[in-house]
């Protein structure tokens, strides 16, 4: 028997960087998913097939052994190995497993790729060896994998990937989940420039150290936009959502986290009919997101492509992690 689990990626709609200090972030699950197929092995190895990324190998005795591709690529798999190991420890099971990873989510551009694979890994291993885990356990075990990647992550990515829908997160407050009865179309523009969240957060921190009162006012404004933006999204006031996206982008740019590539795509999408557009995630590269009406989607996609980006049309996904038997 084999089990396939899939989990969605994400975009941050509002609240980047301000959420580090105060105020909420609004995060959307998107209908691009990572898929992991798990099968039992007769040995103790945890084998990963990531051949669509050009590598494969296995962990045994805590060490990575390359089969295809350079050994350093094993670092990309350490989080998923941790997720699988923690799941087996939780179940009280010792087993070798083969895990085949395929994903529609671009990696290292702020769309939650690693969390989606970690969540899908936990769910697939849990279903294969233990008959399935409740979502809260999937989420907490996937967080162990996320810690390998991010050190002390907020938990946003593994939560949104586990549960889907819309998530509001605020430090010292926690998570609140929402669903919509409508799904406005969004277009992601991927610059294809990998970025470091840690570096961007540190850049804002240094700017704040030099200009605390001014930067705190910007942070408070971004937090206010996040709350207003969620309310507008829930009542389907897309024109207001678009206005707030545009304002939010300007504030993020003032913090120094935009880039020439992002600016080109943000402004080209607006000229092509987007109701609003902004960078999403840490900035410095990665992706932007545009809110569109159906008629303007082709124009916006072409505008993003003409500026050197990859365009990805997405909707909000209310389906979180899901499993099924295969083969």
CATH number assigned to the domain comprising residue 7? 3.30.230.10
pLDDT at residue 327 tops 80: no
- Please report the pLDDT score of residue 153 as a whole number: 80
**Same domain, yes or no, for 92 and 165?**
yes
Mean pLDDT, residues 90-100: 96
Mean pLDDT, residues 68-96: 92
Neighbours of 42 (CB within 10 A): 7
CA distance linking residue 317 with residue 235, whole number of Å: 18
- Do the domain assignments include residue 323? no
- Do the domain assignments include residue 324? no
**Same domain, yes or no, for 53 and 82?**
yes
CA 291 to chain centre: 18
- Do the domain assignments include residue 326? no
Which one of 159, 179, 199 terminates a domain?
179
**Same domain, yes or no, for 161 and 90?**
yes
Q: By mean pLDDT, which of 189-203, 250-264, 285-299 is the weakest?
A: 189-203
pLDDT at residue 317 tops 90: yes
Mean pLDDT of the chain: 94
**Same domain, yes or no, for 201 and 152?**
no
Domain count, the chain: 2
Higher local confidence (pLDDT), 180 or 249 = 249
Looking up residue 310, the CATH number of its domain turns out to be 3.30.70.890
* Residue 78: exposure state from Cβ atoms within 10 A (0-12, 13-18, ≥19): middle
- Do the domain assignments include residue 201? yes
Confidence label for 324 from pLDDT (cuts 50, 70 and 90): very high
- Please report the pLDDT score of residue 217 as a whole number: 98
**Same domain, yes or no, for 165 and 193?**
no
pLDDT at residue 242 tops 80: yes
- Do the domain assignments include residue 63? yes
**Same domain, yes or no, for 175 and 190?**
no
Question: Range of 194's domain?
Answer: 186-314
Neighbours of 234 (CB within 10 A): 15
Q: Is the dihedral of CA 300, 290, 33, 70 positive or negative?
A: positive
CA distance linking residue 224 with residue 191, whole number of Å: 28
- Please report the pLDDT score of residue 125 as a whole number: 98
pLDDT at residue 267 tops 80: yes
* Residue 96: exposure state from Cβ atoms within 10 A (0-12, 13-18, ≥19): middle
Which one of 179, 199, 234 terminates a domain?
179
- Do the domain assignments include residue 266? yes
- Please report the pLDDT score of residue 87 as a whole number: 97
Q: What is the pairing mode between strands 46-50 and 96-103?
A: parallel
Confidence label for 252 from pLDDT (cuts 50, 70 and 90): very high
**Same domain, yes or no, for 173 and 61?**
yes
Which one of 179, 208, 236 terminates a domain?
179
CA distance linking residue 24 with residue 75, whole number of Å: 32
**Same domain, yes or no, for 57 and 110?**
yes
pLDDT at residue 172 tops 90: no
- Do the domain assignments include residue 282? yes
pLDDT tens digits, residue range 121-169? Answer: 999 999 999 888 999 999 999 999 888 877 778 889 999 999 999 999 9
- Please report the pLDDT score of residue 150 as a whole number: 75
End-to-end Cα distance, the chain: 7
Catalogue the active-site residues: 157
Of all residues in the chain, what percent carry a pLDDT higher than 70?
100
pLDDT tens digits, residue range 22-76? Answer: 999 999 999 999 999 999 999 999 999 998 888 899 999 889 999 999 888 788 8
DSSP state of 75: G
**Same domain, yes or no, for 112 and 197?**
no
- Please report the pLDDT score of residue 7 as a whole number: 98
The per-residue b/e assignment along 297-312, b for 16 or more CB within 10 angstroms, e otherwise, is bebbbebbeebebebb
DSSP state of 93: -
């Amino acid at each position: 028997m084999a089990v396939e689990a899939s989990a969605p990626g994400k975009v941050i709609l509002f609240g980047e960087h301000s959420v580090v200090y105060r105020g909420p972030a609004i995060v959307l699950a998107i209908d691009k998913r990572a898929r992991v197929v798990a099968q039992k092995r007769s040995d103790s190895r945890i084998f990963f097939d990531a051949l669509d990324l050009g590598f494969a190998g296995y962990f045994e005795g805590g060490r990575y052994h390359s089969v295809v591709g350079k050994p350093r690529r094993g670092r990309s798999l350490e989080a998923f190995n941790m997720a699988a190991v923690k799941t087996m420890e939780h179940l009280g099971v010792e087993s070798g497993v083969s895990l085949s990873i395929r994903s529609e989510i671009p990696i290292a551009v702020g769309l939650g790729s690693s969390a989606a694979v970690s969540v899908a890994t936990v769910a697939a291993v849990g279903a294969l060896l233990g008959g399935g885990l409740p979502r809260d356990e999937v989420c907490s075990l996937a967080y162990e994998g996320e810690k390998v990647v991010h050190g002390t992550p907020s938990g946003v990515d593994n939560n949104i990937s586990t549960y889907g829908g819309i998530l509001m997160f605020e430090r010292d407050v926690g998570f609140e989940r929402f669903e919509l009865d409508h799904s406005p179309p969004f277009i992601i523009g991927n610059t294809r420039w990998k970025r470091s969240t840690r570096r961007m957060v540190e850049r804002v921190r240094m700017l704040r150290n030099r200009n605390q009162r001014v930067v705190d006012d910007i942070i408070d404004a971004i937090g206010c936009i996040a709350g207003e933006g969620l309310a507008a999204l829930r009542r389907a006031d897309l024109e207001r959502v678009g206005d707030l996206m545009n304002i939010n982008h300007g504030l993020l740019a003032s913090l120094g986290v935009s880039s020439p590539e992002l600016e080109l795509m943000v402004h080209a999408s607006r000229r092509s009919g987007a109701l609003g557009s902004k960078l999403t995630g840490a900035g410095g590269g990665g992706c932007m997101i545009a809110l569109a009406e159906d008629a303007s989607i082709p124009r916006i996609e072409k505008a993003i492509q003409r500026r050197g980006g990859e365009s990805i049309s997405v909707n909000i996904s209310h389906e979180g992690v899901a499993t099924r038997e295969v083969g």
